[in-house]
Chains A and B, each alone.
Chain A
Amino acid sequence: AQKITQTQPGMFVQEKEAVTLDCTYDTSDQSYGLFWYKQPSSGEMIFLIYQGSYDEQNATEGRYSLNFQKARKSANLVISASQLGDSAMYFCAMREVRTSGSRLTFGEGTQLTVNP
């Protein structure tokens, strides 16, 4: 079974600084996808960034980048120039392909607090 591990329950960062949120995964699949989502206190899930297992370049989306180290099975999210609005829960997730179709498996999440 696939597993996603986020070892940082909480992280703090000063406004305008960069922060890295850790994510490691475990899978025997050769083809997989890794996602990061942001969940503000409102509860909605906001897609941030995607990395495919065969992508050679690290994914980037604006201030978000994914540090993908396949051999180490890690997919850390880097947020540059943190803003107060970045304070939220962040989830790492992996797409799992099964005979019944694909599904997402989520890590436990990291609560990020951006301090002014």
Chain B
Amino acid sequence: SAVISQKPSRDICQRGTSLTIQCQVDSQVTMMFWYRQQPGQSLTLIATANQGSEATYESGFVIDKFPISRPNLTFSTLTVSNMSPEDSSIYLCSVARNYGYTFGSGTRLTVV
């Protein structure tokens, strides 16, 4: 399965600032997925990122708040913009491979 390097692993940020999370995959993949996991809850898909096209956002998530870049087939970034304490969550990237899905190690974000 694919190996994903996700950075940073954790961060504490001031409200009103932005944080960019990076995911690097060890091989080329068509789609990358970004998830949010709020404290004590399940994973919710934020958006799907295809290389060369705009990301597809799920209901409740907008590009202005969570801009995504996908410059090539092995890399993607998610930015959490104008953060508030409600954005405190674990953010995970994921890729699909054959029948499975591999996840990055997650970014644990705390907004103070």
Contact = CB atoms under 8 A, between A and B. Distances in A.
A binds B: yes
Contacts of B33: 103-104
Interface stretch (B16-24, B69-77, B79-87, B93-101): B93-101
A93 B48 CA distance: 17
B70 to A, nearest CB: 13
A29 B40 CA distance: 30
Contacts of B100: 35, 47, 50
A56 B53 CA distance: 38
A91 interface: yes
Contact of B101 (A44, A104, A109): A104
B105 A103 contact: no
Nearest to A104: B101
Interface residues of B, number: 25
Contacts, number: 56
A50 to B, nearest CB: 5
B42 A100 contact: no
A106 to B, nearest CB: 5
Given A43-B108, A45-B92, A106 B101 contact: no
Given A101-B31, A106-B42, A107-B42, A44 B106 contact: yes
10 contacts: A43-B90, A44-B106, A45-B43, A45-B92, A45-B94, A50-B100, A95-B101, A103-B48, A104-B94, A104-B101
Interface of B: 1, 30-31, 33, 37, 41-45, 48, 50, 56, 90, 92, 94, 96, 99-103, 105-106, 108
Interface of A: 33, 35, 37, 42-45, 47, 50, 52, 91, 93, 95, 100-109
